[in-house]
Structure 1
Amino acid sequence: MLNAEQVTFGGSGLDRAAQHRGDAAKLEELRKAGHAIALWRGKPLFDYETKALMRISPDHQVLSEATDPAIYLGIEEDGKAVFAHDISPWEDPALDAAALSNFFDPSQNLYPGFEKTQVFSELRGIMAKMTPRDAELAATARGMFEWHRHHNHCAKCGAKSELAQAGWQRDCPTCKASHFPRTDPVVIVLATKGNSVLMGRSHGWPDGMYSLLAGFMEPGETMEAAARREVFEESGIRLNRVRYLSSQPWPFPSSLMIGCAGEAENTEIVIDPKEIEDARWFTREEVFAATHSDNPQLRPARKGSIAHFLIHNWLSDTLD
């Protein structure tokens, strides 16, 4: 496996066994003998003691909180299927409403009956602790639940659509149109010039937080063209050669981050204040210091993000 495929959420070889999605009898057989995972408002149920995404009985009490059907994710090497359940209707009496308005929600939510280490946690806070398999399952489930939450009406006629194909499709009973999970492509660019890398920060980010420049691809664009356009629009930096490095499913809410490397033609930064708050060139030495908590002017990208992955491999000179 290439180094580029080691990025968090990059895939673990899960057998999604799509041939079973339309077979109700087979799905019920798989459900009864399989595992369940649970998410609450986008937070997976995670055990901090074992550092694992919790797999629970298909008839566990917590799953009674779900009001929508489970989504079939696939079959693991032990032959057991995994189904994801969204228990968001549950009301946590200890909910910290203030935490929900933060850039990052650090709160943890304990469902009655679970151990104190077994809590619903913000995925961005635990993604770097997860095994590749757990990360793929959690990201897939979160992305699918977000899609269903925001696309429950037919885009063609406006009628309420219905879940089909074990969660991998929505069908409209009125006009008979079928709709499929959406993934938005985003380019994220490791733009370099000599010994320096270009990073920027969005409005409202915590002090000192910088990351690689990124933006959504537009219809009719190649990956390379989108990378050049986004970097120039946000920073005034023009890129010459652009090449693909790695990709990452990013379930916040549902994107595919396409990591690219680009060589800068100029160094003078002119930001678009509507797009970003600031952009700067950082040397390898400055970025290295930040990764070792020795640069108060720069907070390193969050571990598990493709930005962190690309920067780490740039520092290590191990980009594929």
Structure 2
Amino acid sequence: MIETGFTGGTLDRADALRHDAPAVAALLADPTSRLLLLRDFEPVVTDDGRLAWGSVADAPAGATFVLLGLGEGRAHFAAIVPGEAPPPPYRSPSLFALLDRLRGGEAATFAAARALIDWHARHPFCARCGHGTTPFRAGWGRACPNCKAEHFPRVDPVVIMIAEHDGRALVGRQPSWPAGRYSALAGFLEPGESIEEAVAREIGEEAGVPVTDVRYVASQPWPFPSQLMIACIARAEHDTITLDTNELEHAMWVTRDEARAALAGEPGAFGAPPPYAIAHALLKAWVEGGA
């Protein structure tokens, strides 16, 4: 199995408890229960790369809670603060540094909390009737008291892929990225589209390269704000790039040796995506021939 960032969480999500409001209330009243500490939606990280936790009693006034799960003999929660603006969809420089420090399972817990809190902040009203909604199912849904509709967190699927041709991989960059960084191409799945069709469409649209033989490699939750990255490799029919400059600043073909050097942090043709990004795992799988 290929390891990707934001996976490997150790908490038991305890789905059955989400339907048991009295049990959740008892957990919230339990002094051993823990509250995830966040600053502006970013995790507080200890020196040994773990998430910092506090007491549920220290949550802001009026907060409701998401039950993240059970672990180490206690419940773990995140706070939903009424009226709090949703976090920005991008990662700040400080968050980049924190993600690099987090251990794998810890990053998975943060990813779930961040995605859920973001969803609550963005969906305070009913999509059916426009009335205000309230959290239920231990924070894993919102209910409308007016029309009785129930709403649940959504996950947006995204394909992220490299095309391969004659022993080289296609990578591209966006102008907002750090200088020299390249990554796999990516794009959202559209309604009525399979993963394979989305991979072929996105590579064709962004780089003008037709592909076939799409192979699934791995997946990753991406909590900015709430996506599922689906990594694939496809075979390119030719290597002529016709760039869509609305999407990419540049794209190029790289060899395995060039990709290997980039993944190792060595100076060379390009800089690789960070280790917590699935594009890093995808490039590594391609370099090692394991996909």
TM norm structure 2: 0.91
Q: Is the 8 A contact 1:210 1:298 kept in 2?
A: yes
Range with greater deviation from structure 2 (267-276 or 286-295): 286-295
Range with greater deviation from structure 2 (21-30 or 229-238): 21-30
Q: Is the 8 A contact 1:39 1:85 kept in 2?
A: no
Identity in percent: 38
Q: Is the 8 A contact 2:63 2:82 kept in 1?
A: no
Deviation digits for residues 123-142 of structure 1 (CA, Å, limit 9, x no counterpart): x4333433332122100000
Change (3 A) 1:132 1:88: farther
Q: Is the 8 A contact 1:247 1:259 kept in 2?
A: yes
**Structure 2: tracts of 5 or more residues without a match:** none
Say whether residues 1:12 and 2:13 are aligned partners: no
Deviation digits for residues 245-274 of structure 1 (CA, Å, limit 9, x no counterpart): 110000011100001111111100001111
Poorly superposed stretches of 4+, deviation over 4 Å? 86-90
Aligned residues: 286
Paired amino acid for 2:93: P
Deviation digits for residues 229-256 of structure 1 (CA, Å, limit 9, x no counterpart): 0011000111110011110000011100
Partner of 1:71: 66
Say whether residues 1:185 and 2:157 are aligned partners: yes
Q: Is the 8 A contact 1:39 1:87 kept in 2?
A: no
Q: Secondary structure at the match of 2:280?
A: helix
Paired amino acid for 2:42: K
Q: CA deviation at 1:287?
A: 1.8
Change (3 A) 1:128 1:272: same
Q: CA deviation at 1:312?
A: 1.6
Change (3 A) 1:242 1:45: same
**Structure 1: tracts of 5 or more residues without a match:** 91-99, 108-121
Q: Distance in 1 between matches of 2:189 and 2:69?
A: 29
Matches within 5 A, 1:91-110: 104-107=91-94
Q: Distance in 2 between matches of 1:104 and 1:149?
A: 17
Q: Is the 8 A contact 2:65 2:139 kept in 1?
A: yes
Matches within 5 A, 1:52-201: 52-59=50-57, 61=58, 63-64=59-60, 67-76=62-71, 78-86=72-80, 104-107=91-94, 122=95, 124-201=96-173
Matches within 5 A, 1:257-296: 257-296=229-268
TM norm structure 1: 0.83
Q: CA deviation at 1:171?
A: 0.9
Q: CA deviation at 1:18?
A: 1.1
What is the RMSD of the two structures over their aligned residues, measured on CA atoms?
A: 2.2
Deviation digits for residues 36-67 of structure 1 (CA, Å, limit 9, x no counterpart): 212232201211x22111122333x4x23x64
Q: Secondary structure at the match of 1:10?
A: coil
Paired amino acid for 1:174: N
Partner of 2:40: 41
Change (3 A) 1:134 1:294: closer
Partner of 1:93: none
Q: Is the 8 A contact 1:39 1:88 kept in 2?
A: no
